[in-house]
Structure 1
Amino acid sequence: MNDSKLAERNIPGMNRRNRFVEVEHAEDVKGTLRRIVTYFVREKLLVFCMLGIVIFGTLCGVLAPSLQSKAIDIIAGTVQGKLMNTVLFMLTAYLLYSGSQLIQGLISAKLSQRIVKRMRGELFEKIVDLPVPYLDTHSHGDVMSRMTNDIENISTTVSQSLPSLFSGVLTILGTVAIMLWYCWQLALLSCISVLLTVFATKILSKRVRKFSRRRQQLLGTLNGTVEEMISGYRTVVAYNHQDITTEEFCAVSDSLTKAGIRTDIFSGVMGPIMNCIGNISFVIIAVFGGYFAIHGLISVGVISAFIVYAKQFSRPINEIAQIYGQLQTAIAGAERVFAVLDEESEDQAGEELADDSAATVTFQNLRFSYQQGYPVIHDYSLQIPSGKKVALVGATGSGKTTIVNLLMRFYDPDSGDIYINRQNIRDISRNSLRKNVAIVLQDTILFSETVQNNLKYGNESASEEQLQKAVEMSRCSEMIQMLPQGYDTVLTGAGENISQGQRQLLAIARAFVADPKILILDEATSNVDTRTEKMIQDAMQLVMQNRTSIIIAHRLSTIRDADIIVVMDQGRIVESGDHNSLLAQKGKYYELYMTQYAGFSI
């Protein structure tokens, strides 16, 4: 949307640089978790399979050290048994444990992709059905971030964090149970290292989260700076702003580097500290285990098993501490996704527009405001006879584009009515209304598709003959022939491989292909040269015959031959008539005309 439309709507913009800021906590954790569970319920077969594999793998992991203990005791001669069979059982347990980890990873990856696919599909379907006001008042970057970053966080959590959480909890319970069964005294002494682990993890995780949050914020700022520099590169160069832009980038980059170093330091320190605590645990087990073994409370094999169990016990605690932060981020991301899903879709109810070749448009006592208390349209009444060409002119912010938004039902008026023939457009479904109205905007939007598919965007069933006629009338036939593959040329980057003027011509041709009852041209020739503009005007005369047309223009040369010229000022009609009669009145239109063509203001 261009500046004039922003001014007209009086809606404050949003800072693009904030869209990468990481969300740490959800407001309604329980409600969000309940909704996430519904996605798991739909994949209950995979969930049960994963839980079964997790339980089986945990049992194997807990059983293996016990078999190791028995093998050592057999070698020491304190326990009777067949050493080879025990070793084979131990090897089998470890192999099954490793195999279950592999299968668990495969199942969790499949589960996460299925859940994310469903969630992403629902979100996209909701976005395309959202009313225009929602997308006009929300940062596009933020909406895209919910589709990409937030969904990706959920995917990562489901595929990696949840299986680790389940297996970690089961491993802790199983390990504690078997340690208590072997020697409760040594088990309690081992908990000293667990307390140290929890304490160290809490302190370090808090620091890591703090600097990680800061790094994410600075990364968003840095990305915003780079994005603005690339998109506005011509302006940067034209105003010799390279040095200042570089200084801004370096300042943010330096701060990001410092935050990154601190994050990496505390993240890197966590591993060695955990290893140190683990070694302390081994010392405790070795010292007290040896004492208990000497006094006959336990065997040497039990000491060996306790060393393995102590490692198994501390590992899931560390993982759960790290998973907690990921879960918080994923839940917050899911809440943002659900917030969009809970938005009301655009109402598509209503009757069909009557199949009538005539299309008289009547605006009756309209009043409208984008923000309550700040009306931009005041008591607006206008009738556009069927088949006539009406031009809306006026200063920036006078309400011209708003009238088009109301006619297209992008917005509904606060009061008043709009009729097409005798049908109130409130009673017409939006789909039916928009099928019969074609619009060419000043900001040309094409899609990364072939030229032919772009032209058929408003009428997929258009014949080859209709296509050729529209192309010839819009004077872009020669331009298309010069493209590498003609109609099959793919417009990369939504048309970046052709000029702005060529994109404008294709947009006009697309409107012609749609063959609408009502044609709206919002500064449709603003990006073409004077010669091309004259050719398009001549072509539009043919297209507009017997078709109701509304033209919004700042170039008064494009609307001299309009049947009715409506002059708007601050949301009101101040003058109307044809070109000559308005000039004779020497009013607002005369001022605009003389300012534009005589070179001075009246």
Structure 2
Amino acid sequence: MSRENTIVQRPSIGGMKAPGQGNMTPLQKPEKMWKTVKRLMKYMKNSSFLIALTLLIAIAGTLMQVFSPKILGNATTLIFNGAMGGTGIDFSSVASILAIVAVLYVGTSITNFLQIWIMTHVSQKTTYVLRNELKAKMNNVPISFFDKNSNGNLMSIAVNDMDNIATTLQQSLAQLISSVVLVVGTLWFMLTISPLLTSIAALMIPGSFLVAKIIMPRTQANFRKFFKLQGDLNGHIEESYNAHAVIKSFNGEENANKKFDVYNDAMYESGWKSKFYGGSTMPSMMVLQNIFYVIVAMVGAVKVATGNILIGDMQAFLQYSTQFSRPIAQFGQIWNGILSTVASAERVFAVLDAENLPEYKKPFTDISTEAKVRFDHVKFGYTDEPLMNDFNLDVEKGQMIAIVGHTGAGKTTLINLMERFYEINQGGVFLDGTDIRNMDYHTLRSKMGMVLQDTWLFSGTIYENIRYGNENATEEQVYTAAQAAYVDDFVRKMPDGYNTVLNEEASNISQGQRQLITIARAFISNPDILILDEATSNVDSRTEMLIQKAMRRLLKGRTSFVVAHRLSTIYDADKIIVMKEGDIVETGTHKDLLKSNGTYAEIYNSQFSQGIPA
């Protein structure tokens, strides 16, 4: 019976590839820049009032800044006329004018401070929402997402790109608002003084846009490439640090350094280009500003000499010319920051747009069965090529099922499908007759306890790591689980006991002790189904014996799946299934399978002949 259904999925992440697959390929220029900007602005919707307030403050501050040169020009004219006319300088009037200008300057400083303070709040609030959404997204993507994207790249997005967005929103947005208002205000005052000089000064605008058109595309492309390479380099560094013992054991330092140099050189190349092109915008604008300033000053001097413009107005116009050209020159720097932010935002949104955990439009058909777990005509593959074609398995309640087979036989895949780490392509997996796709992930996984081949302990105390399996567990339950898993014996001998703090890699305890703690953590969760994926593959013989004793007692009445290469751990299994290329080729007890002299016997004999404990 076909159990296919329609899955509601979001588009997969763009621009991010599996580690080692095209990481060094140059990125294409963004095609939806303004769409990204618009989407980013939506995250600022809750701060609309503060942004509007910032706009009003910017207008007020800019107006005070714009009025200052005109008023100061009046003082210059007053002094010039008094000195040249022989009537003397009216110092009282000059003092009044200067006092007004001083108040305006102070007011401008206050408004600048308020803009920065408000926009800091807005930027941090915006990135706070983005970080929360990104964290929630990480909890809602399939395991396959992490297979395709390196941890270093994801960490770079969560930290570096978020910080870049916050910095630009705080600085560039406030500058952009002030610059626009300043250009409009100064342009109006310049027109009131001299339309001719204004038209000369305004020629800087098309010149600036020409410079921007030449420089900005290169800046944008290199910024996006730089941030992508930054993520790749972070991933390589993280991998090298985590595997430093392996690298040293195999004398792999030279290869690791060469790989680091490849990433570092590429990052240097894109980094200096993005900084150079971005940094050259401002000097280019300043050259244009100085050229037009000289032209304006020359023409203005002629007009003052002919009496067409008052000297105070000319002084004001030169100040306005500087105020007018400064934001235009700064526009390149501001735009450079915006491009950098867009590049970061695109990477963040690429993660947010990644495929979610599947949601099905309609429920699947449940079945009536006495089996605790049933795999019914399951078809599955990690790629387009199927690993399982027509897999079937019934597991009764309380049974211990051992799964053996050569590497790549599909042992771990079976566990992954049962936990819904991956979705099957066809067929059905049932728990107590309920199709697991009809169960939410939390409910399904709360029924299962898992001990992986690779131990993973969190930074914190041993007590906290055990209790992680059940946050509601009492102190007595933690100690009981520790005793059952033979953790209590070695913990009591430590100076700090259960309060011993494990470091980041838990390297202050042995591998076997780490494995026992993860088993205690699984036991305290008291699951219906216990999964041991190579649970004893990293422990010594004595510890293995302790685990087997604990398993006999703790697995009683509990359905369990044990994936193991060391066959000595599964002699007591109720059923051993032997897998090959995604299918079951043999089923039975240890003795029955040895008698059949098939694949299981072959594995057993190969271990025995090589001196591996069988």
TM-score by length of 2: 0.86
> RMSD of the alignment, in Å?
3.3
- Matching residue's letter, 2:574: D
Who is 1:523 aligned against? 534
Who is 1:6 aligned against? none
| Corresponding residue to 1:454 among 465, 469, 494 | 465
Aligned partner of residue 504 in structure 2, secondary structure: helix
| Corresponding residue to 1:366 among 378, 393, 396 | 378
Aligned equivalents of 2:228 and 2:475: distance in 1? 52
| Corresponding residue to 1:29 among 6, 30, 33 | 33
| Mapping 1:35-434, distance limit 5 Å | 35-77=39-81, 82-200=93-211, 202-203=213-214, 223=234, 226-243=237-254, 245-246=256-257, 274-343=285-354, 345-346=356-357, 360-372=372-384, 374-434=385-445
Aligned partner of residue 556 in structure 2, secondary structure: coil
CA contact (8 A) 1:19 1:142 kept: no
| Mapping 1:534-545, distance limit 5 Å | 534-545=545-556
Aligned equivalents of 1:510 and 1:43: distance in 2? 44
Aligned partner of residue 469 in structure 1, secondary structure: helix
What displacement does 1:148 show?
1.9
Who is 1:491 aligned against? 502
Compared CA separation, residues 108 and 18, structure 1 to 2 (3 A): farther
Kindly provide the CA deviation profile for residues 420-452 of structure 1, in whole angstroms up to 9, marking residues without a partner as x. 333332333322221111011112222223322
Figure out how many residues of one structure are paired with residues of the other and give that number. 584
Compared CA separation, residues 431 and 557, structure 1 to 2 (3 A): same
- Matching residue's letter, 2:298: V
CA contact (8 A) 1:458 1:514 kept: yes
- Matching residue's letter, 1:383: D
Aligned equivalents of 1:379 and 1:219: distance in 2? 44
Aligned partner of residue 89 in structure 1, secondary structure: helix
What displacement does 1:578 show?
0.6
What displacement does 1:204 show?
5.2
Who is 1:587 aligned against? 598
- Matching residue's letter, 2:357: E
Compared CA separation, residues 243 and 375, structure 1 to 2 (3 A): closer
Question: Which moved further from structure 2: 45-54 or 250-259?
Answer: 250-259
CA contact (8 A) 2:456 2:518 kept: yes
What displacement does 1:199 show?
4.3
| Corresponding residue to 1:533 among 540, 544, 550 | 544
CA contact (8 A) 2:534 2:562 kept: yes
CA contact (8 A) 1:520 1:550 kept: yes
Compared CA separation, residues 369 and 273, structure 1 to 2 (3 A): closer
Who is 1:9 aligned against? none
What displacement does 1:174 show?
1.2
- Matching residue's letter, 1:479: F
Who is 1:438 aligned against? 449
Kindly provide the CA deviation profile for residues 22-67 of structure 1, in whole angstroms up to 9, marking residues without a partner as x. 9785433343333323222211221122111111111111111111
Kindly provide the CA deviation profile for residues 297-317 of structure 1, in whole angstroms up to 9, marking residues without a partner as x. 111112211221122122211
CA contact (8 A) 1:440 1:511 kept: yes
CA contact (8 A) 1:285 1:303 kept: no
CA contact (8 A) 2:372 2:431 kept: yes
Aligned equivalents of 1:34 and 1:269: distance in 2? 28
- Matching residue's letter, 1:397: G
What displacement does 1:331 show?
2.6
- Matching residue's letter, 2:152: G
Who is 1:7 aligned against? none
Aligned equivalents of 2:342 and 2:430: distance in 1? 47
Who is 1:4 aligned against? none
Aligned partner of residue 409 in structure 1, secondary structure: coil
Compared CA separation, residues 209 and 13, structure 1 to 2 (3 A): closer
Question: Which moved further from structure 2: 564-573 or 195-204?
Answer: 195-204
Kindly provide the CA deviation profile for residues 237-271 of structure 1, in whole angstroms up to 9, marking residues without a partner as x. 33344455556656766676677666666666665
Q: Is the counterpart of residue 576 in structure 1 residue 580 in structure 2?
A: no
Who is 1:565 aligned against? 576
Who is 2:12 aligned against? none
Aligned partner of residue 502 in structure 1, secondary structure: helix
Aligned equivalents of 1:325 and 1:127: distance in 2? 30
Aligned partner of residue 335 in structure 2, secondary structure: helix
**Structure 2: runs of 5+ lacking an equivalent:** 1-15
Aligned equivalents of 2:584 and 2:483: distance in 1? 36
What displacement does 1:456 show?
1.7
CA contact (8 A) 1:179 1:309 kept: yes
Question: Which moved further from structure 2: 451-460 or 134-143?
Answer: 134-143
What displacement does 1:563 show?
1.2
Compared CA separation, residues 465 and 437, structure 1 to 2 (3 A): same
Compared CA separation, residues 42 and 375, structure 1 to 2 (3 A): same
Compared CA separation, residues 580 and 250, structure 1 to 2 (3 A): closer
Aligned partner of residue 77 in structure 1, secondary structure: helix
Compared CA separation, residues 394 and 540, structure 1 to 2 (3 A): same
Aligned equivalents of 2:395 and 2:218: distance in 1? 66
Aligned partner of residue 460 in structure 1, secondary structure: coil
Aligned equivalents of 1:218 and 1:362: distance in 2? 45
What displacement does 1:500 show?
2.6
- Matching residue's letter, 2:292: S
Compared CA separation, residues 330 and 159, structure 1 to 2 (3 A): same
What displacement does 1:344 show?
5.5
Aligned partner of residue 430 in structure 2, secondary structure: strand
- Matching residue's letter, 1:369: G
Aligned partner of residue 575 in structure 1, secondary structure: strand
What displacement does 1:511 show?
0.5
Aligned partner of residue 519 in structure 1, secondary structure: strand
Question: Which moved further from structure 2: 309-318 or 243-252?
Answer: 243-252
Aligned equivalents of 1:259 and 1:230: distance in 2? 25
What displacement does 1:159 show?
0.5
Kindly provide the CA deviation profile for residues 483-527 of structure 1, in whole angstroms up to 9, marking residues without a partner as x. 453223333315343333222111100001011111000001111
Question: Which moved further from structure 2: 235-244 or 321-330?
Answer: 235-244
Aligned partner of residue 370 in structure 1, secondary structure: coil
Aligned equivalents of 1:343 and 1:529: distance in 2? 42
Question: Which moved further from structure 2: 70-79 or 534-543?
Answer: 70-79
Aligned equivalents of 2:38 and 2:228: distance in 1? 29
Aligned equivalents of 1:13 and 1:100: distance in 2? 46
- Matching residue's letter, 1:542: R
CA contact (8 A) 1:161 1:327 kept: yes
Kindly provide the CA deviation profile for residues 210-252 of structure 1, in whole angstroms up to 9, marking residues without a partner as x. 7666766766666555445433333333334445555665676
Kindly provide the CA deviation profile for residues 128-171 of structure 1, in whole angstroms up to 9, marking residues without a partner as x. 12233333333333333332233222212210111111111111
Aligned equivalents of 1:250 and 1:393: distance in 2? 42
Who is 1:467 aligned against? 478
**Structure 1: runs of 5+ lacking an equivalent:** 1-11
Compared CA separation, residues 84 and 166, structure 1 to 2 (3 A): same
